[in-house]
Structure formats: C-alpha cells, structure tokens
C-alpha cells in the first residue's frame, strides 16, 4: 500500500556514480576501507553492491557515505557535496 513512498533504503541502492568520481589512486583504498568496515569478504561483493545488484543494508549506508564524504563526494549521486 505504501509502495509509492520512497524510503532512504530504496533510493540508495547503489554507489557506482560516486565511485567513478573518486580519483583512480583513491578507488582501491576506499574500496578496501568500506569492505573492512562493512565486513564484506570479497571484491565481488563490493562490486555487486556498488552496481546495485545486491542490496545495501541500512547499517552499511553511513559507512559508505563517510568514506565518500572524505573526498567531498555524494556516494549516491556522484556530485560534489559543496
């Protein structure tokens, strides 16, 4: 019944736009830090979540946002924060 209401969880399903905005030399360190903090064991899991093929949990959202904010990037839109 509430299928028309967009929740934060439904909107933020992938972070591919933010990832491509990271300078290449920072992509692997950001990937590794996100994987470590979220407990993701494989690079495949990272890329599946990055592309939106696997759902991101509500607890993983702030971890992802934090690492992209360090580079002034919105993880979900790929736009600069300021």
For the cut 50, the answer to whether the pLDDT of residue 69 exceeds it is: yes
In a domain, 2, yes or no: no
Domains contained in the chain, number: 1
pLDDT digits (tens, 9 = 90+) for 2-35: 444 444 544 467 999 999 999 999 999 999 999 9
In a domain, 75, yes or no: no
In a domain, 5, yes or no: no
pLDDT band at 75 (very low <50, low <70, confident <90, very high): very high
Tell how far CA 71 is from the center of its chain. Answer: 13
Would you state the pLDDT for residue 80? 97
Beta-carbon count within 10 A of 52 CB: 13
Structural domain including 35 reads: 11-69
Distance CA 28, CA 67 (A): 12
């Amino acid at each position: 019944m509430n299928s028309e209401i967009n929740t934060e969880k439904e909107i933020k399903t992938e972070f591919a736009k933010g990832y491509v905005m990271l300078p290449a030399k920072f992509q692997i360190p950001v990937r590794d830090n996100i994987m470590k903090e979220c407990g993701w064991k494989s690079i495949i899991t990272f890329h599946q979540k990055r592309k939106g093929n696997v759902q991101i949990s509500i607890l993983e959202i702030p971890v992802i946002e934090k690492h992209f904010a360090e580079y002034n990037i919105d993880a979900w839109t790929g736009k600069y924060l300021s």
